[in-house]
Structures are given as structure tokens and as C-alpha cells.
Amino acid sequence: MSIGLKLNLQENRLLLFIDIFGFGKIVEDNVSINDETKNKIYTDFCANYKNIIEQSFCDDKIKLTWVSDTVMASTELCNSEQLLKSYAEFAERLFYTLDIIVRGAIVVGALNHDTNIIGTSVNEAAYLEKKKAKYPRVIVSKESLAKMRIASNHNFYDYLVVAEAELTGYYYFDFAKFALERTLKLDPMPVVSRLKTGYNTIKHYCDGANEENRHKVEWLATEWARAIKNNIEPLLKPLIPKLMDL
């Protein structure tokens, strides 16, 4: 039924929709903490989360709306590469700084993102995040990917993985590979620290997850282990001289 609203939707807008994975459980766990500790945790989290969002989505070509744990960022198709870069940096900063993993979707569709955000792409992205992405990852359909303006030699394609059979027609961003390869560009010793942080983040989620979510986090653990295995030589090689000096 139509109620005659004029929404002024713009076609072919690129939307990134992200939620913090397991945020409901984080909120529930916080209820039992005493008020003083709870207020400090809340204040610290909000400040750090806000800073990470603002640092990651600072490009003036990207429009941003966030509420609670949901972040929605949109742009024109010609700025596809900028939005992907912002997403990757956002996910990486949350993972290493706040021990948080995310789940979401990238969609091309009709959107109005002026004072508010509304459109068919919001509906689709929210559905994909909740019902289709399943694991802590960001997915994109081959139809949306085909419309995005990404140079053929852009390294984004190096991190695209064809999703499993039950999600035919979709890809997901290989965050474990991306985060690990970014880590390899650091000085040798911080590599060890980041590997430990990554392990602890995933373990923390596994330990606190219910049965339904545990296997979803275990999927990420498998992805993390695979990325380490595939990069074991470049991971260890720069550490050997440092270890010899200890």
C-alpha cells in the first residue's frame, strides 16, 4: 500500500551497511557490571568508537550515518574505491583497537542520504547483514560489484572470495588476509603483537558466544589460521634477526 510519500531516491548509490557482530551480547554482559565500572566502559567505548568512525570515514565524498552499533556510509559509484578503503580501515581499527569484529553488506541501489538515510538499498543491506552474511564478514552481490567503479588492477579484487554454495552470486571481503598482509608491512616485532591481539579478539568472542554464534566466530578463526598459514614465511623471515639479538 502506498501512502504517497515523495522520497527523492537517487538511483545507483553505493551503500556500506555494517553492524558490530555480537553487540547484543556485549550489551547484556554490561548490565551486570557495577555502575561506576559500567559508566567508564561506556564512556571509553563511545569515545574510541566515535574516533575510529571519524578517522575511517573522513573523505568528504562519503556521507555517513551511525546509530548504536550500526554504521551506514554512502557515496556515488565513482567513489567506490574510497568507500572500500574506508571500510577496510574501519574494520581493521576496530579489530586491533577495540577487539571488535563486524558483519555487513555492500549494495548498489536507490537511496536518499541527506538529513536522514532511506531507500531500497538500506532495506536490502540490512536484510543481507542479518540473514545472509551469517559469519563476521562483509558481502557484496556480483550485480552490485559489476556496477561499482573499481580499477581492474585495484588490490580490492585480491581480497574478494566467492561465497559458499548456499550464497550463490555473492562474494565476501577476506578481512583476515587483508589485516594480516597490512600487518606484514609493519616493523617485525609489532607483527607478533598484532597476531596475539587478533588471536585474543577471536578467542574472546568464542568464549563469550552462545552456541548459535560460536560456530560463526569459529569460521573467522579458520579464516585467520588460513591467512597465517599462507603467509608463514613472510611472517617469520623478518623476525629471525630480531630473535637472534635477544
The 3-state secondary structure of 140-165, one letter per residue: EEHHHHHHCCCCCCCHHHHHEEECCH
- Count Cα atoms within 13 angstroms, Cβ side, for 129: 24
User: pLDDT, tens digit, for every residue of 175-225?
Assistant: 998 988 887 776 555 677 777 888 888 888 888 777 878 889 999 999 988
6-15, 45-54, 60-69, 178-187: lowest mean pLDDT where? 178-187
User: pLDDT, tens digit, for every residue of 144-175?
Assistant: 999 999 998 888 999 999 998 889 999 999 99
How far apart are alpha carbons 174 and 61 in whole angstroms? Answer: 25
Buried b (16+ CB within 10 A) or exposed e, 199-208: eebbeebbee
- For residues 77 and 7, the model is more confident at 77
**CA 22: distance to chain centroid?**
13
How far apart are alpha carbons 234 and 181 in whole angstroms? Answer: 9
Strand-pairing partners, residue 65, are: 72
